């Protein structure tokens, strides 16, 4: 199987972006704060190299490896997102219980909906195995997007604060999951096929990695002191208070 | 149809992600900013609006159709108050989070208490809003009872006390000014 120049360029660009991301994670010593995400990204980068070799060596090996890695990565993505959610809830004891209830009941609803979606819209591929793989992937992407939506909906609704690094990681996963869900959905309806599907899907991943780089390069880490807590180390306010007291 | 639905879900999820990343909560990095962001809520007026005896009086003296219309207007007004209470709670939640970074243990404890109360207030405001929206569709005399059962005002008052305590620890000269803003 031959790859077009556009696909080769996107593949190379994604590899480059992912290398930049891994370098950024280690340079900012984020592996201490988010070890699972750091090692997960490093592992996927190494797997990309293995996949590139297997593609030119044997398409069958590449095909099987691609779908196994796809399934494992969706499960890992969901685990990272659930970890961020639970860590955020831990910081607010008052809403921990309601937060857990929302998450687990939401996940149950997502799983049932994913099964229904898989059964009712199997897609248009002529090959039965491919049809199953695409439908299953779309359902898993649906669950992943749902987990992202639950996380951001609860954070937005209660106006609680995600740690900057967590916000960066979850934001990137959100973009990747949403674009992937859109591309798999358009593929199953026959709108996106063949190379167009691959380009759309891989570009979405590239945008997600770019979002990770942008968000994580500016995110404050836990080890950095807070910029200016209210009333603390605020020279301007301190001077104003003094002036007010003198005026009295 | 499923494709259309999934595309809508995708767009909604992306919208949520971008709105949280952009940060829709007001920035409150000083007590002056907190003071500017808070909008005063007339608790006495809200109490009067949801007074059960007022509802009973209106129910007894107005024709049913007029009663429903008046109750809807009162419910809209109550909703505006609840929304403002909820918005103020979100500002105080952010202020509490910023103050939690202080090294002083007492300030830290007060900030945590303020965060707890602000979250409780937001949850109660959400519950009451849902009930008030139901009341808009089916106006009854229950509006007052529902508002009273909710304990939103009690929690709001506790939150106000906690805020005064926190400001008095960090910026004593602003205590009276900020408490008046609530």
Q: Does residue A44 contact residue A19 with C-beta atoms inside 8 Å?
A: no
Cα dihedral A90, A94, A100, A102 in deg (nearest 10): -130
Q: How many contacts (CB atoms, under 8 Å) link A and B?
A: 138
Q: DSSP secondary-structure letter at A4?
A: -
Q: What pLDDT is attached to residue A240? A: 62
CB contact under 8 A, B7 and A185: yes
User: Residue A19 has which token pair?
Assistant: 């290398």
More confident: B54 or A148: A148
Angle (nearest 5°) at CA A66 between A61 and A71 = 135
Q: Kindly tell me if the per-residue pLDDT of A70 is higher than 60.
A: yes
Pick the residue of A159, A179, A233 with the most B CBs within 10 A to test the interface with B by mutation.
Answer: A159
CB contact under 8 A, A228 and B30: yes
CB contact under 8 A, A189 and B170: no
Pick the residue of B1, B2, B167 with the most A CBs within 10 A to test the interface with A by mutation.
Answer: B2
pTM summary value: 0.78
CB contact under 8 A, A237 and B120: no
Each residue's pLDDT tens digit, B46-86: 888 877 788 788 888 888 888 888 888 888 998 999 999 99
**Residues B181, B158: Cα–Cα separation, whole Å:** 15
Q: Looking at CA atoms only, how far is residue B101 from chain A in angstroms?
A: 6
Question: In chain B, what residues touch A241 (CB-CB under 8 Å)?
Answer: 171-174
- Helices A59-90 and A35-57: crossing angle in degrees, nearest 10, is 170
Q: Within 13 Å and on the Cβ side, how many CA atoms surround A99?
A: 27
Q: Kindly tell me if the per-residue pLDDT of A166 is higher than 50.
A: yes
Q: What pLDDT is attached to residue B86? A: 92
Each residue's pLDDT tens digit, A11-42: 889 889 999 999 999 998 888 888 888 988 89
ipTM: 0.75
User: Residue A202 has which token pair?
Assistant: 């891989």
- The residue written with tokens 């077009």 in the block is A4
């Amino acid at each position: 199987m031959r790859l077009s120049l556009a696909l080769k360029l996107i593949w190379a660009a994604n590899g480059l972006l992912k290398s930049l991301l891994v370098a950024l994670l280690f340079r900012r010593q984020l592996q201490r704060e988010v070890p699972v995400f750091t090692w997960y990204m490093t592992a996927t980068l190494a797997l990309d190299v293995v996949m590139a070799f297997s593609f030119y060596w044997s398409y069958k090996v590449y095909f099987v490896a691609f779908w196994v890695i796809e399934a494992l990565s969706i499960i890992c993505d969901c685990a990272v997102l659930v970890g961020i959610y639970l860590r955020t809830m831990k910081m607010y004891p008052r809403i921990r219980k309601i937060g857990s209830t929302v998450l687990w009941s939401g996940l149950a609803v997502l799983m049932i909906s994913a099964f229904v979606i898989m059964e009712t819209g199997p897609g248009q591929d002529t090959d039965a195995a491919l049809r199953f793989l695409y439908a299953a992937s779309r359902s898993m992407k649906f669950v992943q997007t749902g987990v992202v939506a639950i996380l951001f909906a609860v954070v937005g609704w209660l106006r609680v604060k995600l740690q900057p690094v967590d916000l960066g990681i979850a934001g990137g996963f959100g973009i990747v999951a949403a674009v992937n869900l859109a591309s798999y959905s358009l593929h199953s309806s026959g709108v996106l096929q063949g190379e167009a599907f691959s380009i759309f899907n891989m570009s979405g991943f590239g945008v997600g990695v770019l979002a990770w780089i942008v968000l994580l390069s500016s995110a404050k880490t836990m080890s950095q002191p807070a910029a200016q807590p209210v009333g603390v180390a605020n020279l301007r306010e301190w001077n104003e208070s003094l002036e007010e007291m003198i005026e009295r | 149809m499923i494709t259309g639905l999934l595309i809508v879900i995708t767009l909604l999820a992306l919208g949520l992600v971008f709105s949280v990343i952009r940060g829709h909560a007001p920035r409150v990095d000083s007590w002056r900013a907190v003071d500017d962001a808070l909008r005063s809520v007339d608790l006495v007026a809200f109490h009067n609006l949801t007074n059960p005896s007022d509802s009973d009086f209106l129910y007894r003296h107005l024709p049913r159709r007029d009663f429903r219309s008046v109750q809807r207007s009162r419910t809209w007004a109550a909703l505006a108050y609840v929304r403002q209470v909820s918005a103020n709670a979100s500002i105080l939640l952010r202020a509490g989070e910023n103050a939690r970074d202080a090294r002083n243990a007492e300030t830290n404890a007060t900030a945590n208490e303020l965060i707890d109360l602000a979250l409780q207030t937001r949850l109660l405001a959400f519950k009451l809003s849902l009930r008030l929206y139901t009341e808009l569709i089916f106006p009854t005399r229950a509006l007052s009872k529902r508002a009273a059962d909710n304990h939103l005002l009690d929690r709001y008052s506790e939150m106000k006390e906690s805020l005064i305590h926190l400001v008095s620890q960090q910026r004593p000269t602003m205590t009276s000014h900020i408490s008046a803003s609530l």
